[in-house]
Structures are given as structure tokens and as C-alpha cells.
Amino acid sequence: MIQNQDIKQFEEDGYLIAENLLDFDQDIRPVIDEYDDLLDELATKWYEEGRISSTYQNLPFSQKISQIARDTDGLYTQALDISLPQKDISNETPMHHGPAVFQLLRNDRLLDAVEVFIGPEIFSNPVQHVRIKPPENCLPEEIRKSSLAGQTLWHQDQGVVTEEADESNILTVWIPMTDATEQNGCLVVGRGSHKDGLGLHCYTNNPEKNGLSNQYLPEDQVPIIMNPGDVLFMTKMTKHSSLPNVSEDIRWSFDLRYNPTGEATGRRWFPGFVARSKSDPDAELHDPFVWGQRWDAAREQLFDSGVNPQFQRWDPNDPLCA
């Protein structure tokens, strides 16, 4: 249970770790099992298509994903993600919206904690991702800075949404499925960095140059060591990154966002849903199939319209990004 002193720490540091907030067997294990089945299905499909050299049927999940990462040059990530990409959306862009993931987003213990930060009218913001990072030596050089598979560069979550969400009270929620250590690529948070304001973010064709420009990097950088069941809460302005995975195993996490219902999400082309409402319980979404349908409809609409949405506000030609 989050206490008043925890909120004070969150306001001072810009982040809070709630240890053992979730139960591994009840809350984490169903998601792991769902992804294990999903990866088996995808491996069979990709093997039949000639994209991978084996289905790796007898390997455990972590070794299987590492082998598939090698075979596909790290381009496996979108099929496992719970969001659409920011570009090159087609009517066949894969996503995963299974019932176990949906239940994680609606988990009562999780929403009880979220309510402490943003109140009882809780909207599941569509800025959400799953990040399964294999050991870095499984990835080609050009993929090692891909945020879904490799190292995440310094950024603020407010810097990756549109200006319409500048006044929204968006809460970042980071949930590890595996241990998160300095060796396997845990998050690093800039303590107190949320007080600095929004820094310039660079989005260029050079992954090494992306994220916060160097002059905005935080001084007090804290590695966030976590176990499955722990949950990290961050403000939308907290500067953070992740380390490279130099271990022999995967690092797996979900990063979710929640905001008060009615406030802009910063990704108006993507669908969110009412996760909890004290004032209008009938508005809550309880059906994971409908959740998936909404994402499918968003994909079709974006593809059919030919619209190329602008997902961020930054000028790629800014001199500080050169």
C-alpha cells in the first residue's frame, strides 16, 4: 500500500518503486504463459515462411527469443508489442492484445496504486509497450539502440507525445516480468530531473543521436534494480534511460501509462479505454476482445486514410541534434 511518505518521495524524486505490489503467480505468471504460447505460434509461422531456421520448440522462452532475435536481425519486436509503431503502419502490422495482458492493465492492485497518484477516474493511455531485450550480442549493431529490443536512450515520456497532452496528468508505470539488473539492462532514472522542465529531444536517422540532447542529461543517475512483482511509477517529466543487456539472459518489461479520463493522451490516433471509474462504472471496459478490436480498427483507419501522423514535436534539423 502506498503511504503519504511515498507520495512525498515521488514528488521529490520523480519516481517511486512499490516493491511486491503485484503477485507473481496471480498477476505476472499468466502474462508469461500467454507470451510463451504466442511465441510458439509466431515461431511456427516464421519457420514456415523461411524467416527463421528452426521453431526452437524445445527451448525455454528466454533462449527461444534470443535465437529468434539472431535469425530475424531483431525484427521480431512488433509482433510482440501491444501498440502500433509510429511509422510504416500497414493493414497487416502485427500486435498482441491478449486477455492476460488486458487483465494486467486492469489489475485491481495496480489500479489502486494508480488511483493514489491521479484519482479514481482512470484511463488506460495507449502509449504502451512491451520490451523484451535479448542479450546485446544477439542483436545486429543497428538494432542495439532500438528501444523495444535494445538500449533505450535518455528521454522524458512527455517528450514522446504531442503538445495536446502537455496539461495531462500522465503517470508512467513500469512493470518487470524478469529481474531487472545493471547487467541485463535495467532502467536508469534521473533523480529529481522532473523539476528541470522539458528538454530538447532529437529524432534523426542516427539512433546514436536520438533522445535527449546531451546538454539536458541528468546529473544524479540512479540504476533501478527490480524484481517481478515490483512496480515503478514515474512522472511524465522524469528523465530515464536503460542500460544495454550484457548478460546471458533476457530482460522483459511492460511500460504503461494512465491519465485521468477526459484528458488528452498525446496519441489521439490510438485507442485507450476507461480502466476504472467511480462516477460511471458502466464506462469501464472489461472485454479484452473489444480492446483488441479497437486497436485493429485504428490500424485499418490509419492505413486506409494514408495519414502519416506526427507523433512528436521536435525538429530533426535542430543544430543541437547534429
Nearest by Cα to 220 from 45, 81, 12: 12
DSSP 89-104: --TT------HHHHHH
Give domain status of residue 13, yes or no. no
The three cell numbers locating residue 303: 492505413
CATH for 74: 2.60.120.620
Q: Which residues pair with 251 in a beta bridge?
A: 133
Residue-number span of the structural domain to which 242 is assigned: 22-321
Give domain status of residue 151, yes or no. yes
- Letter for the amino acid at 122? I
Give domain status of residue 299, yes or no. yes
- Letter for the amino acid at 84? L
The pTM (predicted TM-score) of the whole model is: 0.95
Q: What is the pLDDT along the chain (322 residues), one digit of tens a residue?
A: 898 899 999 999 999 999 999 999 999 999 999 999 999 999 999 999 999 999 999 999 999 999 998 888 767 899 999 999 988 899 999 999 999 999 999 999 999 999 999 999 999 999 999 999 999 988 877 676 676 677 889 999 999 999 999 999 999 999 999 999 999 999 999 999 999 999 998 877 666 668 898 889 999 999 999 999 999 999 999 999 999 999 999 999 999 999 999 999 999 999 999 999 999 999 999 999 999 999 999 999 999 988 777 777 888 788 888 6
Give domain status of residue 279, yes or no. yes
Q: Which residues pair with 273 in a beta bridge?
A: 124
- Letter for the amino acid at 126? P
The three cell numbers locating residue 122: 482512470
Give domain status of residue 1, yes or no. no
Instruction: List own/partner pairs for 28-34 with CB under 8 A and 24 or more apart.
Output: 28/177, 28/228, 28/229, 30/100, 30/103, 31/100, 31/101, 31/104, 31/177, 31/254, 32/61, 32/177, 33/100, 34/98, 34/99, 34/100, 34/101
Please tell me the total count of domains within the chain: 1
